[in-house]
Amino acid sequence: MVSIIWGFLILIGIIFSFTTNNLSLVNTEILASSAQALEMFFSMFPMIVLWMGLMQIASDSGLLEKIARKFSFILARIFPSIPTGHESLGLIASNIIVNMVGLGSAATPFGLKAMEKLQELNDKKDTASPAMITFLVLNTSGVTLIPTAIISLRAMYGSANPSEIISGALLATLASTIAGLSIDSLIRKKNKNR
C-alpha cells in the first residue's frame, strides 16, 4: 500500500514535469530532497534522544503505568485489545496530551515509543495490529487544542483576532477524530465477525 502511494507520487511528479517544463525544478528537488530530509532529521534527532531518555525514567518509575491507569476509563474503550495499565496506554495518553497543546515535535517521540510497545503486543510483526491503526487514526486526525503556528502566522498577516479560529479548529478536529474512530471501530467489528 505504501509502495503504491510512494511510487504514484514519484511517477506522477516526473511524468508531469515532462509536460509542464518543470524539469529543471524537479531536478533540483531530486538533488536537494535528501539534504532537506537530513535537516528534518537534525531537528528531530535531539528531541527524540532527550525525550526517550526522560520516558525511560517515567517507565522505570512506573509513572507511565500510573498515567495509563488514570486514563483507562476512556482508553480502554478506544483500545479494547490493550491490557489495562499497559505502558503503551501511558505513552499514548502522553502523546495525545502533548499534541493537544500544539507541541507536535515533542509528541513524536512519545508516539514512536508507543508504537514500539504496541509492537510487543503484536503477533504478526510485519502487519499492523488493530490497536496500532486506532492510534494512527487518533494521531492523524490531529487533536490540537491550540494551533500555535497558525495563530502566529495569522497575526503576522494582520488578522484582527488571530486566535478566533481556535474554537472552529477544535470543532473540526473533534468531527474528524470521532469520524476516524467510528470508522475504525466499525472495520474492527466487521473483521471480527468474519
Phi, psi (rounded to 5 degrees) for 144: -105, 125
Q: Provide, rounded to whole angstroms, the least separation between the CB of residue 72 and another protein.
A: 18
Q: State how far Cα 136 lies from the chain centre.
A: 6
| Letter string b/e over residues 170-183, b meaning 16 or more CB atoms within 10 A of that residue's CB | beebeeebeebbee
Q: Provide, rounded to whole angstroms, the least separation between the CB of residue 37 and another protein.
A: 4
User: Which residue, 17 or 71, is less far from another protein as judged by CB?
Assistant: 17
Phi, psi (rounded to 5 degrees) for 133: -65, -40
Q: Provide, rounded to whole angstroms, the least separation between the CB of residue 167 and another protein.
A: 7
- What part of residues 30-69 is at the interface with another protein (CB under 8 A)? 30, 32-34, 36-38, 40-41, 44-45, 48-63, 66
* CA gap 13, 140 in Å, rounded: 24
Cα–Cα–Cα angle for 14, 37, 8, nearest 5°? Answer: 30
Task: By CB under 8 A, tell whether 85 contacts another protein.
Answer: no
Task: By CB under 8 A, tell whether 106 contacts another protein.
Answer: yes
Cell numbers for 24: 529543471
Task: By CB under 8 A, tell whether 187 contacts another protein.
Answer: yes
User: Which residue, 10 or 74, is less far from another protein as judged by CB?
Assistant: 10
Are the beta carbons of 31 and 91 closer than 8 angstroms?
no
User: Which residue, 75 or 117, is less far from another protein as judged by CB?
Assistant: 117
Q: Provide, rounded to whole angstroms, the least separation between the CB of residue 68 and another protein.
A: 14
* CA gap 174, 171 in Å, rounded: 5
Task: By CB under 8 A, tell whether 133 contacts another protein.
Answer: yes
- What part of residues 153-172 is at the interface with another protein (CB under 8 A)? 153-154, 157-169, 171-172
Give the number of residues in contact with another protein, rule: CB under 8 A. Answer: 112
